[in-house]
Amino acid sequence: MECYNDFTDRVQDPAADLLSMRRFASKARFGMNELLARVTAATGLDEPRAEKAVGIVLSLIRSEGDRQKVDELFSRLPGAEDLAEKHAGAKSGGGLAALMGGVLGGPLAAVGKLQAAGLSMDEINVLGRELLGFAREKAGEPLVNEVAGSIPGLSRYL
């Protein structure tokens, strides 16, 4: 029986583990909820479209940015990784936007995807400003600038 007690002392408390996971998930949702609230207020988009739009931009950052810097940025933006993955496969609108996105790279393809999601260029510009402002507040301007600088062609959209 002593061996059994020794074993159970080493096993972590499942209830505590579950609580810890819930706190982490809640923190991730809170971080993205704060950003989504800002985006919906600034753009007038409803929450599902705002989430999709933010996810498309985060997916662009994940796929095109410097891996190490993006990892560092996303570690400071709880929920960013999940949202980027959720919207990584968002389809572009086709036509010229899809062709140019394929030829010119990620930022233009992301604009095509955002337009296919129903965003105007004005809404896309506001989305970009809100997302950058939020990232700078949470992760610091130097890191955000390094990530943005690592994505070819992004500077003309900032």
Closest CA to 56 of 97, 100, 92, 87: 87
pLDDT tens per residue, the chain (158 residues)? 445 444 444 445 555 554 444 444 444 445 799 999 999 999 999 999 999 999 999 999 999 999 999 999 999 999 999 999 999 875 544 444 444 444 456 788 899 999 999 999 999 999 999 999 999 999 999 999 999 999 987 766 66
Closest CA to 124 of 29, 65, 49, 66: 49
pTM comes to 0.74
Instruction: Return all residues near 110 (Cβ < 8 A) that are at least 6 apart.
Output: 56, 57, 59, 60, 101
Report the pLDDT value the prediction gives residue 122, as an integer from 0 to 100: 95
Report the pLDDT value the prediction gives residue 46, as an integer from 0 to 100: 95
Report the pLDDT value the prediction gives residue 107, as an integer from 0 to 100: 86
Domain of residue 18, residue span: 2-157
Query: CATH code at 139?
Result: 1.10.490.110
Number of domains in the chain: 1
Question: How many CB atoms are located within 10 Å of the residue 122 CB?
Answer: 9
**Residue 146 is encoded by which pair of tokens?**
């390094």
- Cβ proximity of 128 and 46 under 8 Å: no
Report the pLDDT value the prediction gives residue 32, as an integer from 0 to 100: 92
